[in-house]
Structure 1
Amino acid sequence: MANTATDELVRTQHGPVLILRLNRPDARNALTGSLLNAIGSAVNEAEADPDTRVVVLTATGDRAFCAGMDLRAFADGDSIGLDSEDGLGYQRLCEGTLSIPVVGAVNGSAVGGGLELLLGCDVVVSSSAAKFALPEVSRGLFPAGGGTSLGTRIPLGAALELTLTGDAITAERARELGLVNAVVDPEQVLESALRYAERIAANAPLGLAACKELVRLAVTAPDRVADRLGHWQSTVFGSADAREGAVAFVEKRAPVWQGR
């Protein structure tokens, strides 16, 4: 695996999987403007890199995946800057609109903006020790970074309970609600997430992009599904990868995807 790093974000390339690790353990991996932009830059580059098929998002330490916005930095005038290219990349990650699949590896608790960041992940593996909360109302705020869309991921009543009380739930409760896909021992989180990522990365990139967009739209904007379904049908079924999938099946070999 090849590593590149800033002080706040570590990138590790693991074959077709890019691992992004939030690296502010002393601040519970809270989000600063510079970290947010580093994440946005990394996912923009991952989308543009044909050799990267899946992103895994995790963090340093075992106490916290991400504690949300760094309130100390914010109070000191830290700027988020969501209107920049990197900021827009981060925003698309949180909205789940990146074309590349994202697997969350939740090494510790995800609170506020940390939980909002996870809503952009397509598959989530959690440590059994993690907790999840949107406590903004207890601080005079509300979860404006995507947390109010929690009801697209879990039942409406549960989403209202979490956002209105600010109370935390356990990893097992998060799995029962469908917020996370799997709960494992803390030391197995990244390994389990990588197994998901490798299974996803073995599939055709165009088909993955189509599934990701259409499945999410069916929940968030069902009126757009028919139009986008037509687009993806012509794009995917007429692609070189569609032909390769059929030929590989007949020849009983693993397909070699080109992403076109």
Structure 2
Amino acid sequence: MSDTPVKTRREGAILEVTLDRPKANAIDLKTSRLMGEVFADFRDDPDLRVAIITGGGEKFFCPGWDLKGAADGDAVDGDYGVGGFGGIQEMRDMNKPIIAAVNGIACGGGLELAMSADMIIAADHATFALPEIRSGTVADAASVKLPKRIPYHIAMELLLTGRWFDVHEAKGWGLINEVVAPDQLMERAWELARLLASGPPLVYAAIKEIVRDAEDSKFQDAMNRITGRQLRTVDVLYASEDQMEGARAFAEKRDPVWKGK
């Protein structure tokens, strides 16, 4: 349907998801639940390998929570759907790469949405902030994630002041991967997505599960789970045809053909 706030485009193994909810692409409960359904389908579709999340228009990626929706009765602690706010923040077993193509303002929950992706590319006019402090609430997901992504004192400054910062500062702190011209944003996102889609999906799945599992683990504990094949994706990878294909392709000096099994 053309009036849906979440539009999708599929090309081969790549899914492009566009949050298109004028005027600012704010997310209410209904939109969040829809995004969760879209990303759950992406997760569970064996033919899809990479997703891109972006915003409609040129000004806003996403400003986060729809305060107008809240005024109409949407509870801030309501049912966000299967993936939590924005569909991917709390999506279980999301073992496929997601690229955020930030096309404009990304603040509050919108910045948290971008941070839920594995890579972030931003147009050079994009700006960021965590302004929840100014409205008397907490940027909950950012309070968990940001101090682990960038230096602690910078993260705390951004959380405690709610100040705005541009793409160059964001890249300087390592919060985003690339800054591109607005007219090159989606082209670059698709170029990166095609590169990832050509890679080994079982390895990507293992990487993502290892990273999640190891986040709060001691090094040796994490390594023991990996080498003991206690992680599902690692166990699947080590017993897979793709594992053998990688070795054969290297020995035969050819490009591997990944089947995802």
Say whether the fold is shared (TM-score over 0.5).
yes
Q: Residues 60-90 of structure 1, C-alpha deviation per residue, up to 9 Å, x if partnerless?
A: 1111100110001111112577657xx1224
Q: Residues 178-209 of structure 1, C-alpha deviation per residue, up to 9 Å, x if partnerless?
A: 11000000111111111111111111111001
Change (3 A) 1:141 1:80: closer
Match of 1:93 in 2: 88
Match of 1:248 in 2: 249
Residue 77 (str. 1) matches residue 73 (str. 2): yes
Change (3 A) 1:6 1:51: farther
Q: Residues 111-170 of structure 1, C-alpha deviation per residue, up to 9 Å, x if partnerless?
A: 000001111110110011001110001110110244442111111111101000000110
What's the secondary structure of 2:176's corresponding residue? Answer: coil
Q: Return the alpha-carbon distance in structure 2 between the equivalents of residues 5 and 247 of structure 1.
A: 47
Which of 26, 36, 39 does residue 35 from structure 2 map onto? 39
Q: Deviation of residue 221 (structure 1)? A: 1.4
What's the secondary structure of 1:222's corresponding residue? Answer: coil
126-135 vs 220-229, greater mean Cα deviation: 220-229
Which of 13, 19, 22 does residue 22 from structure 1 map onto? 19
Change (3 A) 1:227 1:112: farther
Which of 10, 13, 31 does residue 13 from structure 1 map onto? 10
RMSD: 2.2
Q: Deviation of residue 227 (structure 1)? A: 4.9
Q: Return the alpha-carbon distance in structure 2 between the equivalents of residues 143 and 227 of structure 1.
A: 35
Q: Deviation of residue 242 (structure 1)? A: 0.5
Q: Deviation of residue 25 (structure 1)? A: 2.9
Q: Return the alpha-carbon distance in structure 2 between the equivalents of residues 43 and 67 of structure 1.
A: 20
Note the residue ranges of structure 2 that are not aligned, 5 or more in a row: none
Q: Deviation of residue 39 (structure 1)? A: 1.0
Residue 221 (str. 1) matches residue 231 (str. 2): no
Alignment of 1:191-206 (within 5 A): 191-206=187-202
Q: Return the alpha-carbon distance in structure 1 between the equivalents of residues 25 and 211 of structure 2.
A: 30
Q: Return the alpha-carbon distance in structure 1 between the equivalents of residues 103 and 260 of structure 2.
A: 31
Contact (CA 8 Å) 1:32, 1:80: kept in 2 or not?
no
135-144 vs 225-234, greater mean Cα deviation: 225-234
The letter of the residue matching 1:254 is D
Which of 88, 112, 115 does residue 116 from structure 1 map onto? 112
What's the secondary structure of 1:11's corresponding residue? Answer: strand
Contact (CA 8 Å) 1:115, 1:147: kept in 2 or not?
no
Residue 189 (str. 1) matches residue 185 (str. 2): yes
Q: Residues 228-249 of structure 1, C-alpha deviation per residue, up to 9 Å, x if partnerless?
A: 4233544322211101222233
Which aligned segments of 4 or more residues in structure 1 are displaced greater than 4 angstroms?
Answer: 79-84
Residue 160 (str. 1) matches residue 161 (str. 2): no
Q: Return the alpha-carbon distance in structure 2 between the equivalents of residues 152 and 110 of structure 1.
A: 19
Q: Return the alpha-carbon distance in structure 1 between the equivalents of residues 33 and 126 of structure 2.
A: 25
Note the residue ranges of structure 1 that are not aligned, 5 or more in a row: none
What's the secondary structure of 1:74's corresponding residue? Answer: helix
Contact (CA 8 Å) 1:9, 1:20: kept in 2 or not?
yes
Count of aligned positions: 253
Change (3 A) 1:61 1:83: closer
Change (3 A) 1:227 1:22: farther
Q: Return the alpha-carbon distance in structure 2 between the equivalents of residues 71 and 196 of structure 1.
A: 34
Change (3 A) 1:234 1:217: closer
The letter of the residue matching 2:5 is E
Identity of aligned residues (%): 37
Contact (CA 8 Å) 2:82, 2:91: kept in 1 or not?
no
Contact (CA 8 Å) 1:95, 1:146: kept in 2 or not?
no
13-22 vs 204-213, greater mean Cα deviation: 204-213
Q: TM-score, normalization: structure 2?
A: 0.89
